Amino acid sequence: MTIYVSNSVTKQLDEYVEFLMTTYQYRMEEAETRRWEVEYQITKHCNPILMKAGTSGTMKFKSVLQRQEIERLGNNRSQLMNIIKRRRGTYGNTQWNIDYFVSNQGNVYITAINCYNSTYEIKNSENRLLINESQLRSIIREAIRRLLRA
């Protein structure tokens, strides 16, 4: 009985680490510690022994480590685990939703992960808006070229 994580979840975590480094100027070690926190929370909440075979659903948790703690205790994982266990998701402003399903053999499959953070959502919506504007520009250019050819 193990936990399997899909590639889309790994990519989402990579994007989150990149977001932390570009927007909040996290150092690589700090951003990776934040990633480790999310991975630890996944293994803590999706323990195959506690999961019921043949079920699926969504789990929610919050990031609880604060940046000062990450800067101070970044290399001391046991101390950080104690903080995570003690806080139970009450301090963070980043909400994580995990979609999972459990096979009949008891293996847990993490299929999707979503991050809800006001700054992260604004940044992602800006990127989507820029993509839509660029697509619109290319459509307009193509339409003008077709009109000029006719």
- DSSP E strands in 8-136: the ranges are 56-62, 95-102, 108-116
Confidence at 90, pLDDT banded by 50, 70, 90: low
Q: What is the pLDDT of residues 21-66, one digit of tens each?
A: 988 889 999 999 999 999 999 888 887 777 888 888 888 888 888 8
Residue 84 has pLDDT above 90, yes or no: no
Q: How many whole angstroms separate alpha carbon 146 and alpha carbon 150?
A: 6
**pLDDT for the residue numbered 14:** 92
Residue 95 identity = Q
> Which pTM does this prediction carry?
0.71
**pLDDT for the residue numbered 66:** 86
List, in sequence order, the alpha helices (H) in 24-117: 28-45, 67-73, 77-87
**pLDDT for the residue numbered 145:** 80
Residue 127 has pLDDT above 60, yes or no: no
Average pLDDT (116-141) is: 62
Arithmetic mean of pLDDT over the chain: 82
**pLDDT for the residue numbered 120:** 54
Q: How many whole angstroms separate alpha carbon 101 and alpha carbon 121?
A: 26
Using CA atoms of 70, 75, 77, 83 in order, give the dihedral in degrees to the nearest 10: -30
